């Protein structure tokens, strides 16, 4: 998915802006996808029980995992009047597609990588995608199993140093 440089980002010298995380079931695969269908009505933002959806650039909804995690309840998709969020997109009749292709990624500022013992990110991870490999003479090394990670973001808000980012899964594209 390519990102168009907006005038705002150009004037702020953000030539390669960080890709906004779209709500679950955002129609990104079709030519008439999310950005052409979304009316920016904020119905999805108002219906999110976890309050993790907010207005982003251009008024489009985006996910902010620093506010909490996505429980994949589907209320945002159910309230979307334009069809920009659709859990049936590209799937066989009677089936549902995955909410998104996001996975967690541990950054270099992780406390364990800096020699400080911390495992706060693993506690809220229901899918147990975060694991720690013991090592002699230091804290265990963190790792993420991409096949288990749902991209729910539960680990992001629990990290005391913001060392976890949710990104598009490079292996699923």
Nearest in space to 45 (alpha carbons), one of 27, 67, 26, 60: 60
Is 110 marked as binding a ligand?
Answer: no
Whether residue 149 is annotated as binding a ligand: the answer is yes
Structure tokens at 15: 């030539």
Tell me if 118 is assigned to a ligand binding site.
no
User: Which residue from 142, 89, 95 is spatially nearest to 114, judged by alpha carbons?
Assistant: 142
Structure tokens at 109: 């500022």
Q: Annotated binding residue at 80?
A: yes
Q: For strands 61-63 and 102-106, give the pairing.
A: unpaired
Residue 38 assigned as binding residue? yes
Q: Is 125 a known ligand-binding residue? A: no
Structure-token pair, residue 62: 């985006």
The verdict on whether residue 155 carries a ligand-binding annotation is yes
Paired tokens of 103: 């996975």
Query: Which residue numbers belong to the known binding site?
Result: 38, 41, 44, 48, 70, 73, 76, 80, 149, 152, 155, 159
Query: Which residue numbers belong to the known binding site for [4Fe-4S] cluster?
Result: 38, 41, 44, 48, 70, 73, 76, 80, 149, 152, 155, 159
């Amino acid at each position: 998915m390519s990102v168009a440089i907006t005038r705002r980002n150009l004037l702020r010298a953000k030539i390669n802006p960080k890709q906004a995380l779209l709500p679950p079931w955002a129609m990104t695969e079709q030519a008439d996808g999310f950005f052409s269908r979304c009316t920016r009505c904020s119905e999805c933002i108002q219906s999110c029980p976890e309050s993790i959806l907010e207005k982003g650039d251009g008024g489009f909804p985006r996910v902010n995992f620093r506010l909490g995690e996505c429980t994949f309840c589907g209320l945002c998709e159910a309230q979307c009047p334009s069809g920009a969020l659709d859990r049936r997109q590209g799937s066989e009749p009677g089936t549902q597609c995955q909410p998104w292709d996001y996975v967690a990624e541990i950054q270099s500022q992780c406390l364990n990588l800096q020699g400080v013992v911390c495992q706060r990110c693993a506690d809220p991870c229901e899918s147990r995608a975060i694991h720690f490999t013991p090592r002699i003479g230091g804290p265990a090394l963190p790792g993420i199993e991409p096949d288990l990670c749902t991209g729910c973001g539960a680990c992001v808000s629990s990290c005391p140093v913001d060392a976890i980012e949710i990104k598009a899964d490079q292996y699923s594209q």
